[in-house]
Chain A
Amino acid sequence: MLSFILRRLAVAIPTMLILIVISFVLMFAAPGGPFNNDRPLPPEVLANIEARYGLDQPYIVQMTTYVWKVVTQFDFGPSFKYRDQTVNDIIRSGFPVTLVYGFWSFVVAVTVGVSLGVLAALKQNTWIDYLAVGVTVGAQVLPNFVMAPILVLVFTLWLGWLPGGGWNGGQWQYLVMPVIALSTSYMASIARIMRSSMLETLNAGFIRTARAKGLPMRRILWRHAMKPASLPMISYLGPAFVYMITGSVIIDVYFSTGGIGQYFVNSALSRDYSVIMGITILVGALTIGFNLLVDILYAWIDPKIRL
C-alpha cells in the first residue's frame, strides 16, 4: 500500500509539470494579453507593466521562475487583472466558498442519489422505480443555468424566503439554492449508477446464496450488497467531488457567491495568466489527489483489488 502511494505520488509530479507546460503554451498561444484593453497602452507604459510582471522575459524563463516560486514558496504570483490581489489571495477567499457549497452539494447528491438508486433497484419495475428513474432523468436534463434563475424567481422574488444571491460569510440561507442547483445533476448520475450496479449485484450468485440461507433483506443489503455495488459509484465520485469543491462557473455567476469557479472562465477571457495557472494547478493537484484516494478506497472496499 505504502509503495503504491509513493509510486503514484512519483507519477503525480511529472503529470503536474506536463500540465503546467501545456497550460503555459496554450495561454501564450492565445491572442491578446492581460494588458490589452479597449485602449491600447502607450508603448512605454506597457513596457513598465511588462517589466513589473516579468512578462518581458523569454517564455521559458517566465515558466521556470513561476514553477520555482510555486514549488519553493507556494507563491502563485500577483493577479494581472485584480491589481490589489495575489492569486493566493483569490484562492484564499474563493476556495473556502466553493469548498463549503461543494461539500454540502456532495453530501446531498450522495445521500439522495444513493437512496434513490438503491430504492429503485430494490423495487425494480414498480411505480417507485419508474418514479425514481423519471426524477433522475428529469434532474439530469435540467441544466443548472436554467434551474438557477428559476430557483431565484421562486424562492426570492415570489416567496421571499431566501436571499437571491451573495455569500455573506456562508450563512445557511445563502447556501440553499447553490446546493440545490449544483447537486441535482450529480445526484441524478449517482442514482442511475447506483441503480444499475445494485441491480447487477442483487442478481449475483452470492446474494442468491445469502437469500437462500434466509437472511433478512436489510442485512443482505447492508452486509453484502452495498459494498460491491458502490464500486462504480466511487470511481465516479472522486472526480465529481473535485468538480464540486472547486465550484461551478454557473453557480458562482448566478448566485454571486464569490467562489473560485467563476475564475475558470473569467481569468481565461481576461488573459489573467497567473490566475489561470493558479486555478489549473489547484484543480490538477486536487484531481490527482482524489483519484489516489479513490484507488485506496477501492482496495479497502474490495480486497480482491491489489494496489
Chain B
Amino acid sequence: MTFSTILKASTAVTLIAWAGFATAAEVTLAAGEKLAADQTFTYRTLDQITTMDPGMAEDNESGIIIRDLFEGLYNQDGDGNVVPGVALSHTVSEDGLTYTFTLRPEAVWSNGDPVVAADFVYGWRRAASPELASPYSWYISLMGVENADAVIAGEMPTDALGIKAIDDHTLEVRITAPKPYFPQMVTMYTTFPVNQKAVEANPDSWLDPANFVGNGAYVLTENVPAERTVRERNPLYWDNANTVIEKVTSLVINDENQALTRYLAGELDKTEVPTGQYPRLLEEYPTQAVSFPLLCSYYYNVNLTETGNPALQDVRVRQALSLAIDRDIVVNNVLAGGQVPAYSLTHWATAGFEVPTIEAAGMTQADRNAKAVELMTEAGFGPGGEPLTVDILYNTSDAHKTLAVAISQMWKQTLGVETTLANQEWQTFLDARGAQNYQLARAGWCGDYNEASTFLDIMSTASGYNDSKYSNPEYDALLEQAKTAADPAPLYEQAEQILAADLPLIPVYHYASVFMLNDSIRDWPVGNVQQNTYTKDIYKVEAE
C-alpha cells in the first residue's frame, strides 16, 4: 500500500488497513545464487553508540542497533514503505483521531513473555516521562499523542498519555489532530515496546547483555563500549524462520580512511566512503561502491536578524549569492558521491513530494551567474558598487571547509564578493548559530519521517530550529493548512516556492548515502531514503 492510499484512508470511515498485505518478507534468491555459509554482517560505526534504549535514543547509529533488538508496531520495507511489525493492522476512527492497532499474538520477548499492548503503553509512557528525561520525549509530542506536552512537562501523570491497552492484543492511541502520516511515525524507535519486568529488575543495567530482554530479530550478546557491539539471532523472534543473517557486529572506527583500509582488507562488510573518493572507488570496485539518496539536505542559514549582515537582509543579495553557487561543480567535483544539487529545502526523494519548478533550477549556470550579477548590481553591490564581505560559519570539518572554500571562490569570481571563513568546534558552533551570532552558517537537516513537513516545519516562525529567524505569515499558514489537508502536496510545493523567493536559507545539495558494501550482500534497502535498515531483511550469497 502506498503512502497516498494511507493518506486517503485516514479520512475515510473506520477501515482496516493492509488487509491483503504479505506478512513476511521471504528470501528470494536469483537464479544460480545460493546462500553463503557465512551469514555474519560486520559494519563500521563512526562513534560509540550513545544508547540502546529505545526510549532514550536520538541518533541514527543507535537506531540501527535498536531496530535489530526491538520491534515496533510497524517496520519499513526496502523502499521505506510501512509494513507490519508487532502490529498486524490498524483502524482509524472517523475523525482521524483514534488509532486502534491489532497486535500479532505470536510475538514474544526474548525471555519468552508474550509481547502485549501493555508493553507499548509502558514504552510510550516511559519515553515521555520526566523521570526518564529522554532527549527524544518530544517525539511523542510531535506525533500529537493526547496530553503528551503536559506529561513531558510533568503537569500530568504519565497514565494520562493518550495510549491504552484495550486487551492484550489491541492497542488504542489517541492523537490531537489528524495525521495522515501517523503510521509512518510508529516505525520510529521512540515508539518501541519496552519490557517493564526487565527494566524494573535492573533499572541501571537492563541493557547489559546478561540482563537484556528485547523483542527484535536479534539479541544483544556483547557490548564493549567504544569497541564493538554484537547481536545474534533471536530464536524466539516470531519471524525467525525468515531471518538469515546469524550475527551482526558493529565496530567503532573513528577514522573513515582507516575504516576503508580495513574494509579493503576484508574486515568489514560495509563502511562509508570518505568525501571525494567515490569516483575512484567506483572505478576500482564497481560492484561494491554504492550511492543512493539519503533524506538530508545541506544548506546555509542566513541570519535575518539585526545581528546578521545588513546586506543579507536584501533579498536580491541572497538571491545573487544563491544563484552564483555552481551546484553542479559542488556535487560532481567537490563531493562526487551521487549527491544532487538542491534548490529546495525538502529532499527531492521525499515521499509524496514533487520538487516544484524553481526558476533557478532550470537555468544554465551562465544564465544564473548573469542574473546574479544583475541582482547584485541592482542592490548596489558588486562590480562598480559597494564592496561586500560576508562571513561563513561552519563546524570544524574538512568536508565543510572544502565546500565553503569552493563556494567562496564562486562568489568572488562571479560577484566579486569577499568571504571570511570561520570554523568553530561543534558545541561552540551550535551556540553561535542558535544565538544568531553569525551571518551565514552551514546547516544540515535530516528528515525524522519521510514526509515533506519534517523539512518545511523548521522554517516556520514557531520552530525552535529556525536559526535564520525567518518569519512569513503566509508560509506559516500554508503549513498549518497542510496539516489537515487531504492532499498536502500542492501546499508543500507552494511553501517551497516561498522559500525559493525569500531565501532565508540557501540550499546547496541533497545528501546521498555513499558506501562500500560487500557484493555478496543482497536486499540492502537502497530505496529506503532514511536508511532505516533491518538486518533481518538482508542476507549473503555465495561468491561466484
Which residues in A have some Cβ–Cβ distance to B below 8 Å? 30-33, 35-42, 44-45, 48-49, 51-53, 81-86, 89-90, 93-94, 97, 148-149, 152-153, 156-157, 160, 163-167, 252-254, 256-259, 262-263, 266, 269-271
Complex Cα gap A32–B435 (Å): 11
Complex Cα gap A31–B152 (Å): 27
Chain B 45-81: CB-based contact to A (< 8 A → 1; otherwise 0): 0011111110010100000000000000000000000
Q: Which residues of A contact B464 (CB under 8 A)?
A: 39-40, 42
A152 partner, pick from B149, B261, B465, beta carbons under 8 A: B261
CB of A258 within 8 A of CB of B427, answer no
Q: Which residues of A contact B137 (CB under 8 A)?
A: 45, 48
Which 6 pairs from chain A and chain B are nearest by CB? A32-B427, A258-B227, A83-B51, A52-B133, A164-B262, A48-B133
CB of B50 within 8 A of CB of A256, answer no
B428 partner, pick from A31, A49, A86, A148, beta carbons under 8 A: A31
Given A41-B138, A256-B258, A269-B425, output 5 extra A-B contacts at Cβ < 8 Å: A45-B134, A53-B133, A86-B204, A157-B265, A258-B224
Complex Cα gap A210–B504 (Å): 85
B21 beta carbon closer than 8 Å to chain A: no
Chain B 240-253: CB-based contact to A (< 8 A → 1; otherwise 0): 00000000000111
B207 beta carbon closer than 8 Å to chain A: yes
Complex Cα gap A257–B228 (Å): 9
Complex Cα gap A50–B201 (Å): 26
Q: Which residues of B contact A263 (CB under 8 A)?
A: 226
Q: Which residues of B contact A38 (CB under 8 A)?
A: 430, 444
A37 partner, pick from B56, B425, B430, beta carbons under 8 A: B430
CB of A256 within 8 A of CB of B251, answer yes
Query: What are 27 A-B pairs with beta-carbon distances under 8 A?
Result: A32-B426, A36-B431, A39-B465, A40-B434, A42-B141, A44-B153, A44-B154, A48-B152, A49-B133, A52-B133, A53-B133, A82-B225, A84-B51, A89-B225, A93-B224, A149-B257, A152-B258, A156-B261, A156-B265, A157-B264, A165-B258, A166-B251, A252-B226, A253-B255, A253-B258, A254-B258, A269-B426
Complex Cα gap A163–B227 (Å): 14
Complex Cα gap A257–B137 (Å): 33
Chain B, residue nearest A86 (CB): B204
Complex Cα gap A266–B152 (Å): 30
CB of A35 within 8 A of CB of B427, answer no
CB of B133 within 8 A of CB of A51, answer yes
B279 beta carbon closer than 8 Å to chain A: no
Chain B, residue nearest A253 (CB): B254
Complex Cα gap A33–B428 (Å): 9
B227 partner, pick from A33, A89, A149, A257, beta carbons under 8 A: A257
CB of B264 within 8 A of CB of A270, answer no
Q: Which residues of A contact B431 (CB under 8 A)?
A: 31-32, 36
CB of B267 within 8 A of CB of A163, answer yes
Chain B, residue nearest A255 (CB): B258
Q: Which residues of B contact A149 (CB under 8 A)?
A: 257-258, 261
Q: Which residues of A contact B527 (CB under 8 A)?
A: none
Q: How many A-B residue pairs have CB under 8 A?
A: 144
B308 beta carbon closer than 8 Å to chain A: no
Q: Which residues of B contact A160 (CB under 8 A)?
A: 265
Question: Which secondary structure dominates where chain A touches chain B?
Answer: loop
CB of B135 within 8 A of CB of A256, answer no
CB of A42 within 8 A of CB of B138, answer yes
CB of B50 within 8 A of CB of A81, answer yes
Complex Cα gap A262–B225 (Å): 12
Complex Cα gap A31–B428 (Å): 5
Complex Cα gap A252–B48 (Å): 12
CB of B48 within 8 A of CB of A32, answer no
In the complex, what's the smallest C-beta–C-beta distance from B71 to chain A, in angstroms? Answer: 20
Chain B 25-47: CB-based contact to A (< 8 A → 1; otherwise 0): 00000000000000000000001
In the complex, what's the smallest C-beta–C-beta distance from A114 to chain B, in angstroms? Answer: 32
B416 beta carbon closer than 8 Å to chain A: no
Q: Which residues of B contact A253 (CB under 8 A)?
A: 254-255, 258
Q: Which residues of A contact B356 (CB under 8 A)?
A: none
B130 partner, pick from A48, A90, A270, beta carbons under 8 A: A48
Chain A, residue nearest B49 (CB): A82
Q: Which residues of B contact A270 (CB under 8 A)?
A: 426-427
CB of B267 within 8 A of CB of A164, answer yes
CB of B262 within 8 A of CB of A152, answer yes
Q: Which residues of A contact B261 (CB under 8 A)?
A: 149, 152-153, 156-157, 164
Chain A, residue nearest B48 (CB): A82
CB of A167 within 8 A of CB of B224, answer yes
Complex Cα gap A52–B56 (Å): 13
CB of B430 within 8 A of CB of A256, answer no
Chain B 264-289: CB-based contact to A (< 8 A → 1; otherwise 0): 11010000000000000000000000
Complex Cα gap A90–B225 (Å): 7
CB of B262 within 8 A of CB of A165, answer yes
In the complex, what's the smallest C-beta–C-beta distance from B59 to chain A, in angstroms? Answer: 9
Given contacts A45-B137, A84-B52, A84-B53, contact A258 B154 (CB under 8 A): no
Complex Cα gap A167–B428 (Å): 33
Complex Cα gap A186–B234 (Å): 48
Q: Which residues of A contact B131 (CB under 8 A)?
A: 52
In the complex, what's the smallest C-beta–C-beta distance from A15 to chain B, in angstroms? Answer: 29
Complex Cα gap A165–B255 (Å): 11
Q: Which residues of B contact A89 (CB under 8 A)?
A: 225
Complex Cα gap A52–B132 (Å): 8
Q: Which residues of B contact A256 (CB under 8 A)?
A: 227, 251-254, 258
Given contacts A49-B135, A152-B261, contact A83 B227 (CB under 8 A): no
